[in-house]
Amino acid sequence: MYLHLNKTVEIYGYLVTAKNTGTSNGNRMSFGTFLDYNGDWIDTVHFPPSLKKYPIQGKAVYKITGKVVAEFDFITIEVTTLERQHYRSDTKTTAFYNPKGGPKDNDNHSPFKLIK
């Protein structure tokens, strides 16, 4: 993700866990951990405005759009939009499925789509 530092990206990820917390103003925000299509970890921060407009809706595949930032050498995506996607799974594998288009078979290319 260092290659995309300070850039806006779009990536698909499966929600592993999310932690809700409050701001000093009493607003709700969240931190999320996702797995991308290649099995790499994605850490996200959801500030109150984006979390209110695009809430995390349980375990699912999401299309994540946001800015890649670093604090104390820790890379995260500041989420601007979060869209729950359709996906199918079976007992052996979990496959991403997006009827409007999305990740293709794993071809060892970056799962990121650079927006800006």
* Confidence check: pLDDT of 109 > 50: no
Q: Let me know if residue 61 belongs to a domain.
A: yes
Q: Let me know if residue 7 belongs to a domain.
A: yes
Q: Let me know if residue 8 belongs to a domain.
A: yes
Gap between the Cα atoms of 64 and 18, Å rounded: 14
Question: For the whole model, what pTM was predicted?
Answer: 0.76
Q: Let me know if residue 66 belongs to a domain.
A: yes
91-103 pLDDT tens trace? 454 455 445 555 4
Give the pLDDT score at 37.
84
Q: Let me know if residue 55 belongs to a domain.
A: yes
Domain with 70, as residue range(s), is: 2-87
Gap between the Cα atoms of 11 and 114, Å rounded: 9
Q: Let me know if residue 109 belongs to a domain.
A: no
Query: What is the average per-residue pLDDT within 13-23?
Result: 95
* Confidence check: pLDDT of 60 > 80: yes
CATH number, residue 70: 2.40.50.140
Phi, psi of 50 (to 5 degrees): -75, -35
Q: Let me know if residue 110 belongs to a domain.
A: no
Query: What is the average per-residue pLDDT within 55-71?
Result: 95
Q: Let me know if residue 83 belongs to a domain.
A: yes
Do 67 and 77 form a contact (C-beta atoms < 8 A)? yes
Domain count, the chain: 1
Query: What is the average per-residue pLDDT within 87-114?
Result: 51
Query: What is the average per-residue pLDDT within 58-82?
Result: 95
